[in-house]
């Protein structure tokens, strides 16, 4: 990035530690940024309203307003700003929330100055490359979540931090997600975390183990059936898709699902429509699909050309 480009960028450093703010300001001064400081979230909002910073280095643990709260306010004031969260204390939920509310990245203290300088340079490059689109950016909608949401995932290792970031990024969207990993690695926990941080959190989450349902019953379980449609169908039954309308269905071990059921899953994905077994009525459903498998889907497709795993979209 050129010195001329950096001269036009404003960086706001928000931390209640005077020494850290001084160190960051000194290190960043070599990059010719216009640098501003704040020792609290409340002060950061005041500075942001006046200066409209391009990049914000934001501490999470401060007296008064914390970093996640300040992040949400700053996103409303300067939606195009690249906000980097800094903290010595992290939890699963704070990492997810930081990414969910639009943080550019999340870094744990103590950190090498070189690492955070690289993050700032990366943020500055993104801003410079998209400068011709400034003024066209729209405010991102804040997602309302429960304050004390428990996601049930434990781990602060770097690899897990990346997982939390991805959860925060995909949760507010409505895309279909395939979660892969060995048995017992917590794929369902990841699916539940995505649901609880999504716009569908107030509606049903239904987990279905595809490998535990007999092949001749899986369509009935997923899509329901009409009375008399098969032996033992003594009454109409709504399937899992109808039961979690406007919610999320988690299809565990999707690699074990029969092909006949997969074709109907494809229609539900593409058209938002299902039919009960033995029925003719087209039923509209609004369901987000999350799926998981411990198998290599790509290898399965390569081995048998006739196999099509329609869940991957």
**Cα distance between residue 47 and residue 37, in whole Å:** 8
Return the residue matching tokens 């729209």: 138
Query: Pairing mode, if any, of strands 34-38 and 82-87?
Result: unpaired
Check: CB of residue 269 under 8 Å from CB of residue 176: yes
Instruction: Enter the CATH code of domain 173-303.
Output: 3.40.50.300
Give the E-state strand segments of 28-125 in sequence order.
Answer: 34-38, 55-59, 82-87, 105-108
Choice between 6 and 12, residue whose per-residue pLDDT is larger: 12
The pLDDT tens digits for 186-232 are: 889 899 999 999 999 999 999 998 888 888 888 888 988 888 887 77
**Cα distance between residue 293 and residue 75, in whole Å:** 36
Q: What is the DSSP letter of 143?
A: P
Bridge partners, 36 (sequence order): 12
> Where exactly does CATH 3.40.50.2300 map onto the chain?
3-133
> Where exactly does CATH 3.40.50.300 map onto the chain?
173-303
**Cα distance between residue 295 and residue 103, in whole Å:** 33
Return the residue matching tokens 């329901």: 224
User: Would you place residue 88 in the very low, low, confident or very high pLDDT band (cuts 50, 70, 90)?
Assistant: confident
Check: CB of residue 84 under 8 Å from CB of residue 116: yes
**pLDDT for position 144:** 28
Choice between 287 and 128, residue whose per-residue pLDDT is larger: 287
The pLDDT tens digits for 38-85 are: 999 999 999 999 999 999 999 988 888 888 899 999 988 998 899 999
Among 81, 30, 73, which Cα is nearest to 53's?
81
Two structure tokens written together for 135: 């003024």
Range 20-24 contact pairs with CB under 8 angstroms and sequence separation of 24 or more: 20/59, 23/113, 24/57, 24/113, 24/116
Choice between 130 and 217, residue whose per-residue pLDDT is larger: 217
**pLDDT for position 90:** 66
The pLDDT tens digits for 24-49 are: 988 888 787 899 999 999 999 999 99
Two structure tokens written together for 134: 């400034």
**pLDDT for position 48:** 94
In this prediction, residues 149-165 reach a mean pLDDT of 69
Check: CB of residue 278 under 8 Å from CB of residue 229: yes
pLDDT at 149 > cutoff 70: no
User: Would you place residue 302 in the very low, low, confident or very high pLDDT band (cuts 50, 70, 90)?
Assistant: low
Q: Domain 3-133, CATH 3.40.50.970 — does that match?
A: no
Distances (CA, A) of 170 to 167, 173, 197: 5, 5, 9
Query: Pairing mode, if any, of strands 55-59 and 283-284?
Result: unpaired
């Amino acid at each position: 990035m050129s010195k001329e480009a950096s001269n036009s960028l404003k960086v706001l450093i928000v931390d209640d530690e005077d020494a850290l703010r001084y160190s960051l300001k000194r290190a960043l001064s070599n990059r010719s940024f216009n640098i501003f400081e704040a020792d609290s979230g409340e002060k950061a909002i005041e500075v942001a309203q006046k200066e409209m910073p391009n990049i914000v280095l934001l501490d999470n643990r401060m007296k008064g307003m914390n970093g996640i709260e300040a992040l949400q306010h700053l996103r409303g004031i300067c939606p195009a700003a690249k906000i980097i969260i800094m903290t010595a204390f992290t939890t699963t939920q704070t990492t997810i929330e930081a990414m969910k509310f639009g943080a550019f990245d999340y870094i744990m203290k103590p950190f090498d100055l070189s690492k955070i300088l690289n993050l700032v340079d990366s943020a500055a490059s993104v801003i410079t490359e998209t400068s011709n689109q400034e003024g066209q950016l729209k405010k991102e909608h804040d997602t309302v979540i429960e304050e004390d949401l428990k996601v049930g995932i434990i781990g602060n290792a770097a690899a897990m931090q990346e997982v939390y970031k991805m959860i925060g990024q995909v949760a507010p969207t409505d895309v279909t997600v395939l979660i892969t990993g060995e048995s017992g690695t917590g794929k369902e926990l990841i699916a539940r975390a995505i649901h609880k941080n999504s716009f569908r959190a107030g509606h049903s989450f239904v987990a279905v183990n595809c490998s535990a349902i007999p092949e001749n019953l899986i369509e009935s379980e997923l899509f329901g059936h009409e009375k008399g449609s098969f032996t033992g169908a003594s009454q109409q039954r709504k399937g899992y898709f109808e039961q979690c309308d406007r919610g999320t269905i988690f299809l565990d071990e999707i690699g074990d699902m029969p092909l006949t059921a997969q074709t109907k899953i494809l229609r539900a994905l593409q058209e938002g429509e299902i039919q009960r077994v033995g029925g003719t009525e087209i039923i509209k459903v609004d369901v987000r699909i999350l799926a998981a498998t411990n198998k290599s889907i790509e290898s399965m497709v390569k081995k048998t050309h006739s196999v099509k795993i329609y869940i991957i979209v």
